[in-house]
Amino acid sequence: MSTLRAAAIHDLSGFGRCSLTVALPILSAMGVQCCPLPTAFLSTHTGGFEGFTFLDMTDEMEKAAAHWKTLDLRFDAIYSGFLGSARQIGVVERFFRDFRAPGTLTVVDPVMGDHGAVYKTYTPEMCAGMAGLAELADVITPNLTEAALLLGVPFGALPGPEETVEQLSMDGRRSVVLTGVSLTPGKTGAMCFDAKTGRTQAVQTAYISHEFHGTGDVFASVLTGALMQGHSLPAAAEQAAEFVRACAVRTAASDIPPREGVEFEPLLGLLTGGAR
């Protein structure tokens, strides 16, 4: 049996622990060969840093995808996140069409915003495009802000988490893992709708009273790895929530600035061992 392989379509932010600098080590630790298709190169992510550089990689992505096609590369999963331009969304849609085979898992983390605000580089056109891309996914992993953008309702006017995931499921055809869901004080986690079983289920862990950048990317990367390993959606969400919690506990103790993300590196060992 050969090593599982994923195409990871995210930005490469040199500093700040998000996107590819999170997906690559996490998927590798989980026994997945992670092939990056960078959407943009930034000096840092856009949350909490001023003056970051931004190089749009749309043209390069098309060339790299065309080369991969000549190599007849096959992927067990295609996992996308932060996108760099509106035109790029069409490139990613074509990538899905060209590289999706029976059994390929497509995970779209519809990265657009957080805490009720859209990220600095996202235009309304890009948000609309992201909603279209997310329609092609087997699994989406929005936070509450992104769920509101996908449903076209103001942040704060979202229905309860169960109804939100059901509304996002496209009549039960798409699995949804809604992150940042707190059902009781002191707890946080996700609400899952599993298209395979038609069941809605919550996953909750202890809330660590610190907000760190990039935890959504850590969560979605662990979820993708666990799904690729064959775990059910709720089990994969449970593992992802627990890993984020462990990272948050460790990082809170070291008191680094939240914009630097969670110190997940020393905890990667928690993810090894499940590799097939």
226: amino acid identity, one letter: A
Question: How many chain residues bind ligand PXL (CB under 6 A)?
Answer: 14
Q: Which residues contact 206 (CB under 8 A, 6 or more apart)?
A: 186, 187, 188, 245
Q: How far is the CB of 216 from ligand PXL (least distance, A)?
A: 6
4, 7, 18, 30: which one binds ligand PXL (CB under 6 A): 18
Burial of 141 (0-12, 13-18, 19+ CB in 10 A): buried
Residue from 15, 119, 155, 207 in contact with ligand PXL (CB under 6 A): 119
Do strands 32-36 and 113-114 pair parallel, antiparallel, or not at all (unpaired)?
unpaired
CA distance 138 to 264: 27
47 binds ligand PXL (CB under 6 A): yes
Q: Using the rule CB under 6 A, which residue among 9, 26, 27, 42 binds ligand PXL? A: 42
Query: Measured at the alpha carbon of residue 180, what is the angle toward residues 177 and 182, in degrees to the nearest 5?
Result: 110
Q: From the CB of 214, what's the least distance to ligand PXL, in Å?
A: 5
Binding mask 175-214 for ligand PXL (x = CB under 6 A): ---------------------------------------x
- Select 55 or 170, whichever has its Cβ closest to ligand PXL: 55
Contact 5, 68 (CB under 8 A): no
88 binds ligand PXL (CB under 6 A): no
Q: Where are the alpha helices (DSSP H) in 55-123?
A: 58-70, 86-99
Q: Which residues bind ligand PXL (CB under 6 A)?
A: 11, 13, 18-19, 42, 45-47, 82, 111, 119, 214, 216-217
